[in-house]
Amino acid sequence: MEGDTIFRAARTLNRALAGRTVTRFDSVFSRLTRIDEDERIPGRTIERVDARGKHLLIWFSGDLVLRTHMRMHGSWHIYRPGERWQRPRADMRIVIGTSDYEAVAFSVPVAELTSARELERAEPMRVLGADILAEQFDAAEVVRRIEAMRDVEIGDALLDQSAVAGIGNIFKSESLFAARVNPFTRVGELSRADMARIVDAARRLMRASAIQRPAGASVYGRAGRPCRRCGTIISRRKQGEHARITYWCARCQAVSPKPGSGGGGQTHGRAE
Ligand SMILES: [Zn+2]
């Protein structure tokens, strides 16, 4: 799940729920229902719904925040009361009802209710890097945090949420293709300008996807098909300790030596 998907989900939930009073709260997570028993979520107003990195935050009046993380298979749906759910009841994790809509979280593996202060103080929020989709974005700080991971391959470093929050597998591949950088290059072999170009591409592509609509992929999911730019067959390989799949064009994203590192390796060929 990528930050742009969470961003769109948060926006949809915010439109349906912000300013409404909660009429019903239900969850299969006992740690949530226990807090609801003490703190009574029904009767509170939903102030807003927003996203930070891959975390979706629902803010209730009276300093209570519901943080959920979708991981791979979780999702939030919005229904009119009485409307038939599109996922089985057994997948339901959380229901937040209002007079006009009910929001249902399906298969969401991570959920906690907390105060704003605790949310900021605890992991994972405390260690979260800058949100790639945020209005205010400190690209130089993100580059510094990525730079610190010298021995990590750039395709893996982009997924580290403590360096930059919100990039997932799809936009990792897409932004490296856009920046013409090989995903298996170690961070220490990249120049600061390379990294700035990659971060810029990720932000540009993800904001376009979050604010407008998902664009067609250039490389992601296209293994075995021709590169849209040069016609070379797109490659696919597992990368990093979590074996996340990476897609790239071996020609457009040839390994290029850092300027001044004495050559070697393949040239940065550009074939039309
Ligand atoms: Zn290519």
CA of 200 to the centre of ligand 1 (A): 20
**How many whole angstroms from 13 Cα to the centroid of ligand 1?**
39
Please give the average per-residue pLDDT across 29-45, as a whole number.
96
Count of helix runs (H) and strand runs (E) in the chain: 7, 12
Q: Tell me what pLDDT residue 259 has.
A: 57
CB-proximal residues (5 Å) to ion ligand 1: 227, 229-230, 232, 249, 251-252
- CA–centroid distance, residue 232 to ligand 1 (Å): 5
For position 272, what pLDDT does the model report? 32
257 DSSP β-pair partners: none
Residue range 106-122: mean pLDDT, rounded? 94
Confidence of residue 71 (pLDDT cuts 50, 70, 90): confident
Which residue type sits at 235? Answer: S
CA of 230 to the centre of ligand 1 (A): 4
pLDDT score, position 266: 42
The label of the residue with tokens 């998907």 reads 5
Cα(248) to ligand 1 centroid in Å equals 8
Quickly state the pLDDT bin for 256 (edges 50, 70, 90). Answer: low
Within a 13 Å sphere around the CA of 235, how many CA atoms are in the beta-carbon half?
A: 14
CA of 224 relative to ligand 1 center, distance in Å: 12
Report the C-alpha gap between 6 and 200 in whole angstroms.
20
CA distance 28 to 94: 7
| 0.85 exceeded by pTM | no
Cα–Cα distances in angstroms (integers) from residue 127 to residues 121, 164, 183, 241, in the given order = 9, 10, 24, 20
Q: Is the pLDDT of residue 243 over 80?
A: yes
Q: State residue 257's pLDDT score.
A: 56
DSSP state of 45: B
Tens-place pLDDT, residues 186-208? 999 999 999 999 999 999 999 99
pLDDT score, position 242: 86
Residue 211: the pLDDT is 80
217 Cα to the center of ligand 1, angstroms: 13
- Report CA(271)–ligand 1 centroid distance (Å): 8
Is 209 buried (19+), middle (13-18) or exposed (0-12) by CB count in 10 A? buried
252 C-alpha to center of ligand 1: Å?
4
Residue 155 Cα to ligand 1 middle (Å): 17
Tell how far the Cα of 168 is from the centroid of ligand 1, in angstroms.
22
Average pLDDT (56-75) is 94
- The predicted structure's pLDDT at residue 263: 40
| Cα–ligand 1 centroid distance for 215 (angstroms) | 18
Average pLDDT of span 138-154: 96
Q: What is the mean pLDDT of the chain?
A: 91
Q: How far does residue 267's CA lie from ligand 1's centre (Å)?
A: 14
Kindly state the average pLDDT of the residues 218-239: 95
- What value does the mean pLDDT take over residues 222-243? 94
Alpha carbon of 186 to ligand 1 centroid (Å) = 21
- Residue 81, pLDDT > 50, answer yes
pLDDT over 90 (residue 269): no
Q: Is the pLDDT of residue 70 over 70?
A: yes
Residue 147 φ/ψ, nearest 5 degrees:
-55, -30
In this structure, what is the dihedral angle of CA atoms 214, 220, 226, 230, given to the nearest 10 degrees?
80
Calculate how far, in angstroms, residue 251's C-alpha sits from the geometric centre of ligand 1: 5
Rounded distance from Cα 234 to ligand 1 centre (Å): 7
Residue 134 CB partners (closer than 8 Å, separation 6+): none
Is 219 within 8 Å of 171 (Cβ atoms)? no
Tokens representing residue 40 in the block: 């009574």
Provide the token pair at 66.
């519901």
